[in-house]
Structure 1
Amino acid sequence: MKHIRNFCIIAHIDHGKSTLADRLLEYTKTIEVTQGQMLDDMDLEQERGITIKSHAIQMEYGYENEHPDFEKGQYVLNLIDTPGHVDFSYEVSRSIAACEGALLVVDATQGVQAQTISNLYMAIEQDLEIIPVINKIDMPSAMPDEVEDEIIELIGCKREDILRASGKTGEGVKDVLDAVVERVPAPEGDKDAPLQALIFDSVFNSFRGIIAYFKIENGSIKKGDKVKFFNTGMEYVADEVGVLKMNMMPKKQLSTGEVGYIISGIKNAKEVQVGDTITHIDNPCSKAISGFQEVKSMVFAGVYPIDPSDYENLRASLEKLQLNDASLTFMPESSVALGFGFRCGFLGLLHMEIVQERLDREFNMDVITTVPNVSYMVYDKHGEQKEVHNPSGLPDLMSIDHIEEPYIYATIITDTAYIGPIMTLCLDKRGELIKQEYISGNRVEIHFHLPLGEIVIDFYDKLKSISKGYASFDYHIDGFRHSKLAKLDILLNGESVDALSALTHVDNAVGLGRRMCEKLKELIPRQQFDIAIQAAIGAKIVARETIKCVRKDVTAKCYGGDVSRKRKLLEKQKKGKKRMKQIGNVEVPQKAFLAVLKLD
């Protein structure tokens, strides 16, 4: 155990974590020369240049420094590269749970940014040893001295503790590896105690079932052992255990402190939960490993298959995707226009986009995503209450006494420079300020009551952009409150499209209706007949746009002659258009559903 080190790399988006990880793998000869990001192996990650999944990999490093406390020799380093984008912060929290140390990477050209701070706080809460590294020092615009000052102010370390490296040229990589050996504590645990292993990730393999990745806190596990998962109570035989190199490497036995995988032929995705504990059936541990938070969804939207017969396939695909991305939550729902589907919870709009792309690429599922919303309590004239998840489920307006919407208690931590714009944003979203407190230096904590319906769509994204990414946001549900809400319907040629309808506050309804009509006019393709787009509150139409039809010039052959000849042809065309409008239906493209989210 003295020769094992488990560490992760945390940083803001685009600060060069994955590139630095590549250099560490090259230096330790875990891989030969790299072709681009080796750990970002998903197509989406390579196309967008972002990390979406945490990736665990084991390296072996020959330590040669003269140091009184550490022997020379081979050390096993388990590295977990993590995403930098705030929408995938749940991945980071899971990686941190499986480590004893973290490399805090900061870009020498940009300095400390928001995700650097929030990931750092996650690591400090778990008592990880932090090794600060300034990356990209080979860039002409690098300012390492100023960035060092920022890091010292942030974590209060000594100047000589900060390492300088370049993921591009490989400069300083040996120092980073030496620092991991010298500064990250070896895992603690009892080899002879009952087995306790924490599951921090899992993937689905179509040939071998579900593969769970774990870190052993106490005890050891051998191939062929009978094990059980503590929370679900399911029992299995460990068909194969091993460590994660570029590919999986089977081993006979893994012991305390090691990170590895287990294959036990699990077919059902519900049986593996991230944060569960693996133990032996004969000699079980007394309690599960604690310290795992439940995920908090920020955005809820309906996901429907384009072909209704794909409903079961979509369920299976979402279950397999949830194995690999535990921050996705879903439950069944139905819609008049779209049939059966699922109400899914996401961490943000980027997360929602990525999930949709992954469903398409990895499972060949064509889906339609509806406008994100929340659930409301509706009280009728007889005093009975009903929970409504989407606006199409509202009872008749005449029978409704009042509607209550969910409120949240929100805590925003930000730099004092951004208090003004953040206050304006929250008040625009019908928020009520409760209190504000100064934590330290120039950091302030603001508490608000906000309606959940106002924050699901773009609040989080706006908060990040107006605070240059510095503000962190946390919330918990704080009951329901009486609210004046109106149901806004969108009609296409007099037919209501329930997937586009929204429940919104009376004061915002007319403006929202007008903007939705204008946006749909841009996005719905022109047909052979006129399309009327209308926004209605109850029976009252509040906005209208018309998409003009595509027309053939039927009078082109008339040159000269009497005007009645032209009139006759135009009248004939008009009759055809009228007949076409009765039988024609309007396809609403997927882009239109998504564009409604970005209305501003």
Structure 2
Amino acid sequence: MPVTPRIAADEARDIAPASTPQERLRNFCIIAHIDHGKSTLADRMPQITGIVEERAMRAQYLDRMDIERERGITVKSQAVRMPWQVEGVNYALNMIDTPGHVDFTYEVSRSLAACEGAILLVDAAQGIEAQTLANLYLAMEHDLTIIPVLNKIDLPGAEPEKYAAEIGQLVGVDPEDVSRVSGKTGVGVPESLDHVVRTLPAPEGQVDAPCRAMIFDSVYDTYRGVVTYVRVVDGFLKARDRIDMMSTGAHHEPLEIGVSSPEPHPTQGIGPGEVGYLITGVKDVRQSKVGDTITTSVRGATEPLAGYSDPKPMVYSGLFPIDGSDYPVAARRAGQAQAQRRRARLRAGDLHRARLRLPRRLPGPALHLEIIRERLEREFDLDLISTAPSVVYQVVMEDGTEIEVLNPSDFPEGKVNQISEPVASATILVPSEFIGAVMELCQSKRGTLGGMDYLSEDRVERATPCRWRRSSSTSSTS
């Protein structure tokens, strides 16, 4: 059914992006389990707020990559600024659409750091699932205001009352306060945006302080170079100011500063609490390090913001050309891909294995590696094959030397005192009748059981702690 925007498209474009007072800004993201309708709801919001016209609307509007549309998943977070009116007062909503799959948890954590609140979306026909809890815990770690929302209430199998009670118990709110929406039809979405305005706090930041802006994402544009997405915390980031990257000490001259609404909208600058983009003409994404603090060269800040910790690689896989004669070309193009489209988890290093001709060894979960491989093949015309994922082992020699082993051929010679392997920290969500079988399965696989919570009468959450599992001490010779 058609969705009637509360703000007309012409009126939405007339609201100046950088003219909204700080107390009328609201920054939030949408987090959910995969296939709970997050992208559909994210598409409906720009349509209802009037920044996307009906004739230009399409499914997965904010997903810009072909691979996202083909697979029906969100890989890259997208930030969009939307105008909204509550009781005749204009507000600016900065919404970030995040990935839903567990393999992209790090991308979600980066988006959370740029927001004051998060919409926790739950399917009204399926209820709380594993990634729902994982994203909720991430949001709580960032001390965000949580707004629970039930989606897909128009489905025949929807049970909004049952799952509203379940999510209300989890978040600590009354079930009546859980919003009920349909991202497909638009029912309840305007009321949810009103709730966002009334519930979320305005962003904090000192207007007169030296400029400090945090980089929470970056993408590579073939023609314009690196497009850096920033959240301004203090001061103003203006188009005419020369800027410094505080971690690397690099100096840049801004070519364009603006906001995404949802297309790029250049402005004269962005102030405290605002989310926008910055283009400097730099061609290497590594010069816009995620988590870095941007400040002005003149009267700039001396203390950087608390940034992000680098993702810790746990699972590795090798990528190499199917035809060994293509190795020099594949290695060169893979290097270009790393320099131009460097992702937070795409951390590659040469292994110099002539026997395997293995140019790149990449860390990341299975789906993440599959996406990276497919993008390399499509965008750089590579014909690749990947090895089975492996983990890092910590080897302690008899003399106390610690060695990290990524490949069996790197296993050290000599007397080994102990070997440690990484163990995953997992939260298992199952119907209550299966909890006994799951506990037996975990114990049979050397799992150490943690706490157990009943989310509802028929759902149990079982947690297992994460630690390095050490093998028995040995003095054998490798």
Partner of 1:296: 312
Q: Are 1:411 and 1:475, in contact at CA under 8 Å, matched by a contact in 2?
A: yes
Return the alpha-carbon distance in structure 1 between the equivalents of residues 455 and 252 of structure 2: 53
Partner of 1:55: 78
The reply to whether residue 154 of structure 1 matches residue 175 of structure 2 is: no
SS at match of 2:69: helix
- Choose which of 39, 49, 54 in structure 2 pairs with 1:28: 49
1:121-146 C-alpha deviation (Å, 9 max, x unpaired): 11122121211111111111111110
Partner of 2:389: 372
- Using the TM superposition, give the Cα deviation of residue 50 of structure 1 relative to its aligned residue in structure 2, in angstroms: 1.2
Partner of 2:368: 351
List gaps (5 residues or longer) in structure 1. 66-71, 444-467, 488-600
Partner of 2:146: 130
The answer to which structure, 1 or 2, has the higher relative contact order (CA under 8 A, 6+ apart) is 2
- Using the TM superposition, give the Cα deviation of residue 251 of structure 1 relative to its aligned residue in structure 2, in angstroms: 0.6
- Choose which of 321, 330, 352 in structure 2 pairs with 1:334: 352
- TM-score (norm. length: structure 2): 0.85
The reply to whether residue 261 of structure 1 matches residue 282 of structure 2 is: no
- Choose which of 328, 334, 346 in structure 2 pairs with 1:309: 328
Return the alpha-carbon distance in structure 2 between the equivalents of residues 287 and 477 of structure 1: 35
Code of the residue aligned with 1:296 in structure 2: it is K
Code of the residue aligned with 2:341 in structure 1: it is L
Partner of 2:216: 200
More strand by share: 1
- Choose which of 122, 126, 136 in structure 2 pairs with 1:106: 122
- Choose which of 147, 158, 161 in structure 2 pairs with 1:145: 161
Return the alpha-carbon distance in structure 1 between the equivalents of residues 117 and 397 of structure 2: 56
Return the alpha-carbon distance in structure 1 between the equivalents of residues 290 and 464 of structure 2: 24
CA change 1:294–1:475 in 2 (3 A) is farther
CA change 1:328–1:479 in 2 (3 A) is farther
Code of the residue aligned with 1:327 in structure 2: it is R
The reply to whether residue 82 of structure 1 matches residue 82 of structure 2 is: no
- Choose which of 438, 462, 467 in structure 1 pairs with 2:451: 438
CA change 1:403–1:241 in 2 (3 A) is same
Q: Are 1:113 and 1:469, in contact at CA under 8 Å, matched by a contact in 2?
A: no
SS at match of 2:390: coil
1:326-357 C-alpha deviation (Å, 9 max, x unpaired): 122222113243324122110x1111111111
The reply to whether residue 15 of structure 1 matches residue 36 of structure 2 is: yes
The reply to whether residue 185 of structure 1 matches residue 208 of structure 2 is: no
- Equivalent pairs: percent with the same residue? 42
CA change 1:438–1:389 in 2 (3 A) is closer
Q: Are 2:396 and 2:419, in contact at CA under 8 Å, matched by a contact in 1?
A: no
SS at match of 1:333: coil
Code of the residue aligned with 2:406 in structure 1: it is H
SS at match of 2:341: helix
Query: Cα RMSD (Å) of the superposition?
Result: 3.1
- Choose which of 43, 62, 86 in structure 2 pairs with 1:39: 62
List gaps (5 residues or longer) in structure 2. 1-21
CA change 1:427–1:146 in 2 (3 A) is closer
- Using the TM superposition, give the Cα deviation of residue 264 of structure 1 relative to its aligned residue in structure 2, in angstroms: 1.1
The reply to whether residue 319 of structure 1 matches residue 339 of structure 2 is: yes
Q: Are 1:379 and 1:401, in contact at CA under 8 Å, matched by a contact in 2?
A: no
The structure with the largest alpha-carbon Rg is: 1
The reply to whether residue 408 of structure 1 matches residue 422 of structure 2 is: yes
1:426-460 C-alpha deviation (Å, 9 max, x unpaired): 5555x374xx55365579xxxxxxxxxxxxxxxxx
Code of the residue aligned with 2:328 in structure 1: it is S
Q: Are 2:120 and 2:147, in contact at CA under 8 Å, matched by a contact in 1?
A: yes
CA change 1:165–1:261 in 2 (3 A) is same
- Using the TM superposition, give the Cα deviation of residue 219 of structure 1 relative to its aligned residue in structure 2, in angstroms: 0.5
Q: Are 1:6 and 1:101, in contact at CA under 8 Å, matched by a contact in 2?
A: yes
- TM-score (norm. length: structure 1): 0.68
- Using the TM superposition, give the Cα deviation of residue 471 of structure 1 relative to its aligned residue in structure 2, in angstroms: 5.9
Q: How many residues align?
A: 447
